[in-house]
Amino acid sequence: MTTQTHIAVENPATGEVIGHVDDMTAQEVGELARRARAAQPGWEAMGFDGRARILKRMQRWLTDNADKVITTICAETGKAYEDAQIAELSYGAAAFGFWADKAPKYLADERIRSSAIFVKGKRLVLRYRPVGVVGVIGPWNYPLTNSFGDCIPALAAGNSVILKPSEITPLTSLLLAEGLAECGLPDDVFAVATGCGPTGAAVLDEVDMIMFTGSTATGRKVAMRAAERLIPASLELGGKDPMIVLADANIERAANHAAYYSMFNCGQTCISIERCYVEAPVYDDFVARVTEKVRAIRQGVPAGPGSIDVGSLTFPPQVDTVERHVDEARDRGATVLTGGHRGPDKGYWYEPTVLVGVDHDMACMREETFGPTLPIMKVADAEEAIRMANDSEYGLSAAVFSRDLKRGEAVARRLNAGAVTVNDALINYTALELPMGGAKPGSGVGHRHGPGGIRKYCRQQSLLISRFNPRRDIHMHPYKATRTRLLGRLLAILNRGVS
Ligand code: NDP
């Protein structure tokens, strides 16, 4: 029996309800999966070229409908127009082109050479086949990039996809599903399962592979269920990403990066700068510059291009988390240099905040804050900075600033993070050729982007193809034929060895 209810979607910057979506039951998800499974062979049979035509049309559709897409993202996330334009729309448009072009290369048959004597002269091939139906479960911070974005390589590989967006931000996914249909994607190849956690759990129970992005706690539940079902899971989880500023860094550049990439998307980015370690000689200068820059940030309700720098928080409970981290740090002796308060009653707000006098006993240095805060800690030298940066259950991303590129790279190589930038931050995510994923279990298992970012949506099949020799094979008893051939081969190799 279906007992469907509806979920109200709010604009978190204003508190207004902007739409309703179905809270899908397990039975409804089962029906989506049945249809997706029936549609998949036809989609696979269209081949790379047939699929690429549709993906490229969708790339065009995204740019033609840019304003509509950005407005929808801003309305359901409360983020600034530029945050949606730069980190979502342009990512999506680039990704459609990238996976359409790269899928045939990354998934091409590979000719394998073997040193095994019994397979000499035979053709050995490794091929990639789509798994069938892929489930993508995504978070609310980037509804296009981190939720829908993972569907693109899965589709390019020839899978059907069921996307379960966060209940907080489902409207972007529904709009993009309309776009795919307009671009000629065959019916049922892509479906959006709107709903809460149980809908995500139902998706997990139906699919052949799961791609999950979200918190470490939910990721653990997803991994356990995937293990029970023996399906592959790729998990992109939390981060507590450190930035290290060495004494020889260009301090203005480092301060700009710290201010911009800690507050980008109101700090709700898995690879945002969450904590900073600065060598003592440049600490005061760095802190003064960062504080001035963060104080100048314009926060408010997004109202088109250039209207604000930083919007609201997206997920209501996040305001409490941010407040808890700042209050606890203050109670333990930290100083708030700017910000440090919740915003107005309407919507979900916390001010851009800079904290100093922090240490590793504080939640703001250990737990993912996922908000507009930057705690900065003074360190004696690079060794202490590396030790502190690595003192975390997370290992997603990190940044090092130094004018000495060799030294910067040497420090980067000692950080236990999946992706490290030197004199930069976050933009590595736009290089879709470069794999991105966690280096420690708290930040996930698996990668997106690069060849592995599409091969994970495939099963490997290895082929061994022997030539048929009518003279030898037809008239002999099959057992004798095989034995003779193997012995002949062995003798030939031994003879070669003694000559
Ligand atoms: P959650 O883990 O709370 O939720 C993620 C998704 O899982 C949502 O769609 C949620 O549905 C769904 N879900 C909840 N319970 C279950 C369940 N039992 N089974 C299956 N699905 C379930 O994460 P958030 O949405 O709060 O996202 C923020 C987190 O995501 C942060 O920790 C951030 O670091 C991480 N993140 C990681 C990224 C990376 O690349 N490593 C990128 C972006 C974010 P619903 O929302 O409806 O409850």
Q: Does residue 236 have its Cβ closer than 6 Å to ligand 1? A: yes
Average pLDDT over residues 354-380: 98
Has residue 11 been placed in a domain?
Answer: yes
pLDDT at 58: 98
- Residue 197 in contact with ligand 1 by CB distance below 6 A: yes
Query: Residue 331 falls within a domain, yes or no?
Result: yes
Does 437 reside within a domain?
A: no
Task: Provide the pLDDT confidence category of residue 203 given band limits of 50, 70 and 90.
Answer: very high
The CATH number given to whatever domain includes residue 356 is 3.40.309.10
Residues 103-130: tens digit of each pLDDT: 999 999 999 999 999 998 899 999 999 9
Q: What percent of the chain has pLDDT over 70?
A: 96
Both 250 and 156 in one domain: the answer is no
- Over the stretch 4-22, which tens digit does the pLDDT of each residue have? 689 999 999 999 999 999 9
Q: What is the 58 CA–ligand 1 centroid distance (Å)? A: 26
Q: Are residues 231 and 260 part of one domain? A: no
Single out the residue of 455, 454, 434 nearest to residue 126, CA to CA.
455
Comparing 70-84, 398-412, 427-441, 461-475, the range with the smallest average pLDDT is 461-475
474, pLDDT greater than 60: no
Ligand 1 centre distance from Cα of residue 27 (Å): 22
Checking if the pLDDT of 3 tops 60, the result is no
CA distance 62 to 94: 10
Q: Is residue 445 part of a domain?
A: no
445 CB contacts (<8 Å, ≥6 apart)? 223, 233, 234, 235, 437, 438
In a domain, 25, yes or no: yes
Residue 441 resides in a domain? no
Note whether 476 and 393 are same-domain residues.
no
Q: How many domains does the chain have?
A: 3
Do 12 and 67 belong to one domain? yes
Residues 47 and 117 in one domain: yes
Beta bridge partners of 439: none
Mean pLDDT of 254-273: 98
The domain containing residue 479 runs over which residues?
A: 468-498
Asked about 292 being catalytic, the answer comes back as: no
Q: Does residue 213 line the site of ligand 1, with CB under 6 A?
A: yes
Between the CA atoms of 151, 156, 161 and 167, what dihedral angle is there, to the nearest 10 degrees?
Answer: 10
**Ligand 1 atom with the shortest distance to the CA of 225:** 19
Q: Is residue 1 part of a domain?
A: no
> Which of 44, 167, 206, 236 is labelled catalytic?
236
Tell me: do 78 and 212 sit in the same domain.
yes
Residue 360 belongs to a domain:
yes
Q: Are residues 222 and 338 in the same domain?
A: no
Q: Give nearest CA residue, ligand 1 atom 16.
A: 197
Q: How many C-beta neighbours within 10 Å does residue 317 have?
A: 9
Same domain as 338, residue 209? no
pLDDT tops 90 at residue 344: no
Residue 220 alpha carbon to ligand 1 centre in Å = 11
221 lines ligand 1 (CB under 6 A): yes
140 lines ligand 1 (CB under 6 A): yes
User: Residue 270 catalytic?
Assistant: yes
Q: What is the pLDDT of residues 62-110, one digit of tens each?
A: 999 999 999 999 999 999 999 999 999 999 999 999 999 999 999 999 9
Q: Which is the closest atom of ligand 1 to the Cα of 139?
A: 25
**Residue 1 has what pLDDT?**
44
Q: Could you tell me if 226 and 109 lie in one domain? A: yes
Residue 4 vs residue 177, higher pLDDT: 177
Q: Specify whether the CB–CB gap between 243 and 258 falls below 8 A.
A: yes
Query: Which residue is listed with tokens 């490229």?
Result: 56
Q: What residues does 279 pair with on adjacent strands?
A: 379
Instruction: Give the distance (Å) from ligand 1 centre to CA of residue 190.
Output: 20
Distance 8 CA to ligand 1 centre (A): 18
Question: What is the distance in A from the centroid of ligand 1 to the CA of 213?
Answer: 6
Q: Provide the CATH number for the domain around residue 75.
A: 3.40.605.10
Question: Distances in Å between the alpha carbon of 47 and those of 134, 234, 241, 462?
Answer: 18, 25, 40, 20
Catalytic residue among 74, 151, 266, 270: 270
Mutate to test the pocket of ligand 1, among 218, 225, 321, 393 (most ligand atoms within 8 A of CB): 218
pLDDT band of residue 488 (cuts 50, 70, 90) is confident
Clarify whether residues 322 and 196 are in a common domain. Answer: no
> Which of 168, 205, 213 for a ligand 1 pocket mutation test, highest count of atoms within 8 Å of Cβ?
213
Read off the pLDDT of each residue in 293-310 and give the average, rounded to a whole number: 96
**pLDDT tier, 481 (very low <50, low <70, confident <90, very high otherwise):** low
Residue pair 158/101 in contact by the 8 Å Cβ criterion: no
Give 135-149 pLDDT, tens digit per residue.
999 999 999 999 999
One domain for residues 422 and 474: no
Place 171 in a pLDDT band, splitting at 50, 70 and 90.
Answer: very high
Q: What is the mean pLDDT of residues 400-411?
A: 98
- Do 297 and 221 belong together in one domain? no
- Residue 497: per-residue pLDDT: 62
Cβ(238) to ligand 1 under 6 A? yes
User: Chain-wide mean pLDDT for the chain?
Assistant: 95
Ligand 1 centroid from CA 234, angstroms: 13
Question: Which pLDDT score is estimated for 477?
Answer: 63
- Minimal CA–CA distance to 464: which of 50, 119, 180? 119
